[in-house]
Amino acid sequence: MSLFAPASGTRTNRSDVARPGPEAAGDLLDLVGLTGLMSRSAGRREIRIGLIDGPVALDHVDLAAEHIEPVADAQGVVCASPSSAACAHGTFVAGILSGKRGSAAPSLCPNCTLLLRPIFSEQGSGSGWMPSATPDELAGAVCDCVEAGARVINISSALAQPSIGAERRLEAAFDHAMRRGALVVAAAGNQGSLGSTAITRHPWVIPVVACDLRLRPLRYSNLGHSIGRNGLTALGEGITSLTPEGVSAVSGGTSIAAPLVSGAIALLWSEFPDANAVQIKLALTRTHSRRASVVPPLLNAMAAYQAMAAIKLRRTYP
């Protein structure tokens, strides 16, 4: 099972099947408190989201392409093979973050700037493909996004060819993001394992577990003490987004849950542009309280908004 779980999804063609109405999409997003936050903002252009993923079908009519930019010198930003799994993965996640409002996708933050830093090759991304990158590749992508001004970085990648030295370089990249105030959100993975990796154990990273419509962790979502301590659970079932072929698809997995958290962060920063990264992270994850469970708490974007609003109110009227 890969980070992206298309095997459990279905596809619908816009030409002959009605799109999911905004009420249906809103009901799903309301489970994690996103509906109210989205009603307040579609994002700000100066809030930049780094997407470390596959290439994206930028010609898709339902993408807010005018707000999507490649990271400088990034190669393979646009899909060369729309049928590839890497292109499908990148386009699906991009739709969650930067689809046009009113499309089939969640379209969390279409007015934010989406920075594309493709890391998955389209070659060999066929059946059974799992999005993965070496620690060095991922470290380079994280640093590129930080230097491009990303406020939040979304990662959906397993680690290939891990080694002690390479994992230290990846940890250094996360340290760099922390020093620069760029939050890092990472899919916890879909191997059904208990434990952590160099990605999910770093204290600055927010690992994301996927849950079903009853808000229970999916059986194949990775769990662990560092994931439970630092992370969040978000909806990873029944999410509709975009595909390179111009149809909508319903899918799940931790790759689907992670951008819900990244989008919530971008919207919070759009509403509270003077907030720092630690304030946003604490409001969203509530990591000031001790956690013993391997399952992190459920994302509640509206509760985070209310916490940030209370902080602003106290500073305005001490």
Q: Following DSSP, what letter does each residue of 11-37 receive, concatenated?
A: EE-TTTSPPPPHHHHHHHHHTTTHHHH
User: Is a pLDDT exceeding 50 seen at residue 167?
Assistant: yes
Q: What angle do CA 258, 288, 29 make, to 5 degrees?
A: 30
Between CA 162 and CA 140 the distance in angstroms is 15
pLDDT band for position 31 (cuts 50, 70, 90): very high
- What are the pLDDT digits (tens) for 295-308? 999 999 999 999 99
β-sheet bridge partners, residue 81: none
How far lies 174's CA from each of 92, 137, 148, 198, in Å? 25, 13, 15, 10
Q: How far is CA 35 from the centre of its chain?
A: 17
Which range of 9-18, 160-169, 223-232 scores highest in mean pLDDT? It is 223-232
Residue 109 has what pLDDT?
Answer: 98
Token pair of 99 as six digits: 């689809």
User: Is a pLDDT exceeding 50 seen at residue 18?
Assistant: no
136 and 65 Cβ atoms separated by less than 8 Å: no
User: Is a pLDDT exceeding 80 seen at residue 60?
Assistant: yes
Q: What angle do CA 262, 265, 271 make, to 5 degrees?
A: 145
Residue 162 CB neighbours (<10 A): 13
How far lies 277's CA from each of 37, 117, 139, 288, 310, in Å? 18, 21, 20, 14, 17
Read off the pLDDT of each residue in 268-288 and give the average, rounded to a whole number. 92
User: Is a pLDDT exceeding 50 seen at residue 15?
Assistant: no
Between CA 33 and CA 286 the distance in angstroms is 15
Read off the pLDDT of each residue in 236-258 and give the average, rounded to a whole number. 95
- What are the pLDDT digits (tens) for 175-210? 999 999 999 999 999 999 999 999 999 999 999 999
Residue 29 has what pLDDT?
Answer: 96
Read off the pLDDT of each residue in 74-85 and give the average, rounded to a whole number. 90
How far lies 101's CA from each of 109, 123, 174, in Å? 9, 32, 32
- List the alpha helices (DSSP H) in the chain: 22-30, 34-40, 85-98, 135-147, 164-180, 225-230, 254-271, 277-285, 301-316
Exposure on the CB side of residue 158, measured as CA atoms within 13 A: 17
258 and 234 Cβ atoms separated by less than 8 Å: yes
Residue 5 has what pLDDT?
Answer: 54
pTM: 0.91
User: Is a pLDDT exceeding 60 seen at residue 101?
Assistant: yes
Between CA 17 and CA 175 the distance in angstroms is 47
Residue 264 CB neighbours (<10 A): 30
Mean pLDDT of the chain: 89
pLDDT band for position 288 (cuts 50, 70, 90): low
105 and 246 Cβ atoms separated by less than 8 Å: no
User: Is a pLDDT exceeding 80 seen at residue 291?
Assistant: no
Q: What residue ranges define each of the domains in the chain, with the CATH number in brackets?
A: 5-316 (3.40.50.200)
Read off the pLDDT of each residue in 277-302 and give the average, rounded to a whole number. 89
Which of 21, 22, 50, 3 is CA-nearest to residue 183? Answer: 50
